[in-house]
Structure 1
Amino acid sequence: MKFTPCFHLINPHHSKYNGGVVNSPFDGLAEYVSRRARVDLVQLVLENGMTQKELANRVGVTQQAVHKWLDPRETHPKNENLDCVINLAFELDRRETRGILHGELLSFASLSATRLNSK
């Protein structure tokens, strides 16, 4: 399977980089993705045939970093790395990726409504 390169998401010299604005279908989404869902997205990529080392190379981090991402008590992918993970997950399994992200949207909306209504 051929994957879209991820480095354009963080490389300011790439033609898709527009003065600090990343032209990705998921631009800005990473800010609203919980730690749990970040782990789920990394696991989804790995369950669909990519190794930790391959994922690390695609994102531009170490294999050890990817290993830590799998433990919710450890560090998780920062937003610019998560953009790449989301793109990969979407290429590998659109339905499951949509499910994870839709769940995040519902959780965020519910949390926002609860907090706004409590004031």
Structure 2
Amino acid sequence: MKTRFDGLSEFISRRGRMKVLTILLEELKNPAEVAKRLNITRNAVYGWIKDKKRHPSNENAREMLKILNDENEKKIREILIDELHIFQKLVFDF
């Protein structure tokens, strides 16, 4: 069976994606700039911020990771390591 694999972004939780978004908002100063860099609407970014049931797709998460890596490599590493520790704990507790 062949399935699509979206890479690293597929393994980042909603919480992790929202952390990335929060840091991007700090780095880029506003939701409109984040939307512009992701080539999406501002409404999509505002939706992620306001609606707890919405979050960036794998594709948008991947682009956010790329942008944040260029803007603040240290922060992206911290977020990814936190995500790894959460996943590791869940596996060991299972």
Q: Is the aligned partner of 1:96 residue 2:75? A: yes
The Cα of 1:50 is off from its aligned counterpart by 4.1
* Structure with bigger gyration radius: 1
Partner of 2:31: 52
Aligned residues: 91
The superposition leaves residues 35-85 of structure 1 with CA deviations (integer Å, 9 ceiling, x where unpaired) of 111111011011013421121122122101111222461310000110000
1:2-47, Cα deviation, whole Å (9 max, x unpaired): xxxxxxxxxxxxxxxxxx88xxxxx611111111111110110110
Instruction: Give the structure-2-normalised TM-score.
Output: 0.85
Aligned partner of 1:28 in structure 2 is 7
Structure number with the bigger relative contact order (C-alpha 8 A, sep ≥ 6) is 2
C-alpha distance in 2, partners of 1:88/1:45? 8
Post-superposition, which runs of at least 4 consecutive aligned residues in structure 1 deviate over 4 A?
none
Structure 1 gap segments, 5+ residues each: 1-19, 22-26
Say which SS state the counterpart of residue 83 (structure 1) adopts.
helix
User: Secondary structure of 1:48's match?
Assistant: helix
Paired amino acid for 1:74: K
Q: Which residue of 1 aligns with 2:55?
A: 76
Distance between the aligned counterparts of 2:81 and 2:51, measured in 1?
20
* Structure with greater helix percent: 2
Give the match for residue 6 of structure 1: none
RMSD value, Cα: 1.9
Query: Percent of pairs identical after alignment?
Result: 32
TM normalised by structure 1 equals 0.68
